[in-house]
Structure 1
Amino acid sequence: MLDQLRAMGVFACVVKQNSFSGAARELGITTSAVSQQIRSLEQEMDAILLYRSTRKLSLTEEGQVFYQSCKEMLAAAERGKIRMNELRDDLIGELHIATTPELAANHIIPALSQWLFAHRGLSVKFDVDTQFIDLQKNNIDIALRMAPKIEETTFDTIPLARVEQVLVASADYLNQTASINIPEDLKQHNILPVYSMQHWHRFFFQHNLSDQRVELEMKARMSSNNICVVKALCKNGLGLARVLYLDVQKELMNGELIEVLPDWKLPSYTLYAVAAPLAQRSVKTQRCIEALKAYFSQIPGGRLYKEAS
């Protein structure tokens, strides 16, 4: 059993590194040892998990299913390690967390709920604002920020998850307006932007298969600095909204909103934890970051989250 668990960890590392040699370097073993682990695992599972070629590796259908199980196993092991640390660490004092209202309510608090319940000696203050808060000036321990990229020299930026953007609209809107088949068709439509998003008027599309790129400049008649307001406008048939997938997953699943131009990809965002450099970081801050990383690493794959690296 232990050999199989070890082999599952090696398999997950190969997929993450997209190469046998990369996995060997990360694990500190030889490439031939990695190859042997994968062969033994495939024999044990009686299935081919990877397509191998001289240029790249790709997962078979069985491999994709099995990889999710491997990720869940590794996430469970990580959660177990965190719980062991929690037993050793008596976390007390105040923890100051800064983020936006939407991120706090919809994602950060759910991510930390069990961890906060476990550490009752910890006093936690959530400072929420639509604008970025100065960490030093406001004595912030951790700032959670969603951005394409963060240029930061004073603090550490720890990526937690990569999140896709999608273009959505209600069925009523799509049924009553001109069809949308290519990005250029958007020029005939109403865009509902979150105007606090940097460069909200610029749209960059890349086709999933052909890699064709299209850049558009859009105008808006209605907008808001709040994603909840933009979603309400969108669901009431007043236009199309470009939003983060995690903010509309439920609406897409229940049919309230429909993804527009699914074959065209918009630039993704990354959810970052911004904190003091590791050597200056308190134990409670580091444990909180570990809890966030463990939570986001176990979120199912697909379009909701992709574990950041």
Structure 2
Amino acid sequence: MCNSLGESMLDNLRGMAVFASVVGHGSFSGSARELGITTSAVSQQIRSLENELGVVLLHRSTRKLSLTEAGESFYEAAKDVVSAAEQGRIRVNQLRDELAGSLRIATTPELGVHHILPALSTWMAAHDDLSINYLADNHYVDMIDERIDIAVRMSPSIDDHALSSYPLTDVRQLLVASPQYLRQHPKIESPKDLSEHNLICIELTKDPAILELTQTETGKKTRIKMQSRMHTNNVFMATTLAKEGHGLIRVMEMDVRKELESGALVEVLTGYKLPSFVLYAVTLSREQQPAKIVRCLEVLKKYFQTN
């Protein structure tokens, strides 16, 4: 009984929408084009609606359609129903696309300060209904446990089917030192010269003191282990130590761009290159990402493509 009543109500609502479309277009064919159905299907909907109501709504002739008195009255009600449904659809779309609520972003302190904050600053200011929580840490963050919406990291997490990865940019590693350090220590002209120098180890990777260098012109690879007496898990600390002349650091180019531009640090062994990485934005896998995540990813991609 309930199912029959529900089905009848849905049929009536569908019929009202078709009826309002027919009147609005002044023809069955125009309504059919708008609704993406056949003219005969439109005609069948109107007949079913008239049978359900027990009245004739439209006078049909070969040249035009005209409303009966009952049809004129019913058309006003049908327009209201269609208008209410459209307003409801618009509201649902607004809620789906609204940039509001909270957004949790995980990254490293260096990427956060140098890139993520500059990338998102204008966007954040334009959406003050959005609350953003930044988690800046050099350790791996479990996105599910920490409820992270976007993580920016150097690994794509391709083995985790619960996550989706979006490449942002290629990242070069450089070997750099301060001009002061280079003036006071033996020249560095080839990888073997590194054995006479100190490496400030940034302990974010396995075997941080082991370097694999590839000669740019020949592709010849050299693997060398440097001596090190200073260790840190923080790029800011390592960069400061290097600027003060305590040794060389192996670092992402994007983390020391300002120091390179100012001359506070300079690249050594420019004819060789260290392995490069890809920077990824990582999200939880969903059939449809919330608008705030989609828009944030777009802003990040644009920033890294531009810079």
Q: Does 1:274 align with 2:259?
A: no
Whether 2:276 is the aligned partner of 1:287: answer no
The aligned counterpart of 1:95 is: 103
Shift of 1:129: 1.4
State the 1:247 CA deviation: 1.4
Distance across 2 between alignment mates of 1:181 and 1:150: 38
> Using the alignment, how far apart are the partners of 1:293 and 1:262 within structure 2?
28
Give the structure 1 partner of residue 171 of structure 2. 163
Q: Is the 8 A contact 2:157 2:163 kept in 1?
A: no
Aligned pairs for 1:223-262 (under 5 A) are: 223-262=231-270
After TM superposition, the structure 1 = structure 2 runs for residues 1-309 of structure 1, keeping only pairs within 5 Å, are: 89-147=97-155, 150-153=157-160, 154-299=162-307
Equivalent in the alignment of 1:21: none
The answer to whether the 8 A contact 2:104-2:135 is kept is yes
Looking at structure 1, the residues matched to 126 and 210 of structure 2 have their Cα atoms a distance apart, in angstroms, of 44
Residues in 1 aligned to 2:284 and 2:207: alpha-carbon distance in whole angstroms: 28
- For 2:261 and 2:117, the matched residues in 1 are separated by 22
Distance in structure 2 (CA, Å) of the matches to 1:226 and 1:282: 33
Matches of 2:133 and 2:257 in 1, distance apart? 28
CA contact (8 A) 2:176 2:268 kept: yes
**Does the 8 Å contact 2:151/2:281 carry over to 1?**
yes
Q: Which runs of 5+ in 1 are unaligned?
A: 1-85, 300-309
Structure 1 CA distance for aligned equivalents of residues 305 and 105 of structure 2: 20
The whole-number CA distance in structure 1 between the counterparts of 2:207 and 2:196 is: 20
**What is the identity, as a one-letter code, of the residue corresponding to 1:145?**
R
* Count of matched residue positions in the alignment of Structure 1 and Structure 2: 213
After TM superposition, give the deviation of residue 281 of structure 1 in Å: 2.3
**Percent of pairs with identical residues:** 41
- Secondary structure of the 1:191 match is strand
Aligned amino acid, residue 159 of structure 2: E
d(CA) in 2 for partners of 1:150, 1:175:
42
| Secondary structure of 1:104 counterpart | helix
What's the CA shift for 1:150? Answer: 4.0
List 4+ stretches of structure 1 deviating above 6 A: none
Question: Following the alignment from structure 1 to structure 2, what is the Cα–Cα distance between the partners of residues 152 and 126?
Answer: 25
How far does residue 106 in structure 1 lie from its aligned partner after superposition? 1.4
1: distance between equivalents of 2:215 and 2:101?
Answer: 50
Q: CA RMSD in A?
A: 1.9
Counterparts of 2:243 and 2:268, CA distance in 1 = 14
1:127 to partner: Cα distance: 1.4
Matched residues in 2 for 1:104 and 1:254: separation? 21
In the TM superposition, what is the alpha-carbon distance from 1:89 to its structure 2 partner?
A: 3.7
C-alpha distance after superposition, 1:253-282 (max 9, x if no partner)? 221111100010111122111102251522
Q: Partner letter of residue 234 of structure 1?
A: A
Q: TM (normalized to structure 1)?
A: 0.65
Aligned partners of 2:251 and 2:300: how far apart in 1? 22
Instruction: Tell me by how many angstroms 1:289 deviates.
Output: 0.7
Task: Measure the CA separation in 2 of the matches of 1:174 and 1:208.
Answer: 22
Distance 2:207 2:157 in 1: 15
| Superposition deviation, residue 136 in structure 1 | 0.6
* TM-score calculated relative to the size of structure 2: 0.66
Partners of 2:194 and 2:275 in 1: CA distance: 17
Once residues 243 and 216 of structure 1 are traced to their aligned partners in structure 2, the CA distance between those partners, rounded to angstroms, is: 16
Aligned mates of 2:170, 2:180 — CA distance in 1: 31
- 2:290 corresponds to which letter in structure 1? S
Cα distance in 2 between the residues matched to 1:265 and 1:286:
35
The structure with more radius of gyration: 2
1:191 alignment partner AA? L
